[in-house]
Amino acid sequence: NAGVTQTPKFQVLKTGQSMTLQCAQDMNHNSMYWYRQDPGMGLRLIYYSASEGTTDKGEVPNGYNVSRLNKREFSLRLESAAPSQTSVYFCASRMNPAGANVLTFGAGSRLTVL
Amino acid sequence: QQQVKQSPQSLIVQKGGISIINCAYENTAFDYFPWYQQFPGKGPALLIAIRPDVSEKKEGRFTISFNKSAKQFSLHIMDSQPGDSATYFCAASIRTGANNLFFGTGTRLTVIP
């Protein structure tokens, strides 16, 4: 019972490099999310996908792109990494976009941009 | 603009004591208020949640108190244990909304043996 799996767990990039964070869930959830966590800032939503085939911007989408590859997978891409994108990134999923259903998080991906 | 304001940023409590974390919100459309617990190196996990039609919800040593008129809610951890040491996030959302939980900035709780 894996839940939400994120790869890689750690990554160091140089400014201007690109990379993709991968996320997969095996709970048959419809909605998936990408958050970033920074000290003193809490968790901020980058992008979300309410259902397969749809994506929408969250609070802090600049510098990121996403792809909902299928129902299971939701990737986050940094096209030209900047030091301000140094953060811990969390993917999450839940059964439906609305309602009081539980948001399940992955273990996180720690990204450092030099 | 922070949709949910959380305090304190950090909290140190003796074993057996009561830990209290407070949150406030402005958007009266919020109707679902969960608390998440995060241990180092892990993702947040749902701890307990409340809807605004009740003023209190208790699960074991964890209690949410909700004050709708003041737009405030708080987490009380009774008989705090070293295993409770973690970061706690309050959050708020609109159940009919399309997306999002708005999180507070987090409280790092340390319970001293």
Given a cut of 90, whether residue B52 has pLDDT beyond it is no
A80 vs A98, which has greater pLDDT? A80
Mean pLDDT value across residues B39-46: 94
Which B residues, 55 through 84, put their C-beta within 8 Å of a C-beta on chain A?
none
- Tell me what pLDDT residue A47 has: 95
Q: Which residue among B32, B98, B103 sits closest to A100, beta carbon to beta carbon? A: B32
A105–B6 CB contact, under 8 Å: no
Which residues of chain A have a CB within 8 Å of the CB of B42?
A: 107-108
In A, minimum Cα distance to B88 occurs at A42
Mean pLDDT for all residues in chain A: 92
Q: Please state the rounded mean pLDDT for residues B55-72.
A: 95
Q: Point out the residue among B46, B95, B104 whose CB comes nearest to the CB of A42.
A: B104
Could you tell me the CA-to-CA distances from B65 to B17, B50, B92, B107 in Å, in that order? 18, 9, 14, 17
With cut-offs at 50, 70 and 90, classify the pLDDT of residue A102: confident
Minimum CA–CA partner of B105 in chain A:
A42
Distance CA B76, CA B19 (A): 6
Residue-averaged pLDDT of chain B: 93
Q: How far, CA to CA in Å, does B39 sit from each of B46, B81, B89, B108?
A: 12, 14, 11, 10
Integer Cα distance of A28 and A33 in angstroms: 14
Instruction: Report the chain A residue with the minimal C-alpha distance to residue B4.
Output: A42
Could A103 and B101 be called an inter-chain contact, meaning their C-beta atoms sit closer than 8 Å? yes
Interface A:B, Cβ pairs < 8 A: 62
pLDDT value at position B100? 74
| Number of C-beta neighbours around residue A81 at 10 A | 21
Q: What is the dihedral of CA A34, A36, A42, A45, to 10 degrees?
A: -40
**3-state SS class at B49:** strand
Q: How far apart are CA A56 and CA A67, in angstroms?
A: 10
Instruction: Return d(Cα B111, Cα B13) in angstroms, integer.
Output: 5
Nearest alpha carbon to residue B85 among B19, B6, B26: B19
The predicted structure's pLDDT at residue B79: 98
- Interface mutation vs chain B, best among A43, A74, A95, most B CBs within 10 Å: A43
Percent of all residues in chain A with a pLDDT value above 70, rounded to a whole number: 95
B89 has a pLDDT exceeding 80:
yes
In degrees and rounded to multiples of 5, residue A85 shows phi and psi of -95, 5
Taking the C-alpha atoms of residue B63 and residue B105, their distance in angstroms, rounded to an integer, is 20
Q: Please give the pLDDT value at position B94.
A: 81
Q: What pLDDT score was predicted for residue B111?
A: 98
| B101 — pLDDT class (breaks 50, 70, 90) | confident
Name the band, by pLDDT with cuts 50, 70 and 90, for residue A60: very high
With cut-offs at 50, 70 and 90, classify the pLDDT of residue B76.
very high
Reading the block at residue A27, the tokens are 């709970």
Q: In angstroms, how far is CA B76 from the centroid of its own chain?
A: 8
Q: Which two tokens stand for residue B46?
A: 């749902």
Interface contact B98-A43, CB threshold 8 A: no
Average pLDDT (B96-104) is 76
**Residue B99 confidence (pLDDT):** 62
What CA–CA distance (Å, rounded) separates A84 from A17? 13
Is a pLDDT exceeding 90 seen at residue A24?
Answer: yes
Residue labelled with tokens 């490099």: A17
List of chain B residues whose C-beta atoms are within 8 Å of the C-beta of residue A47: none
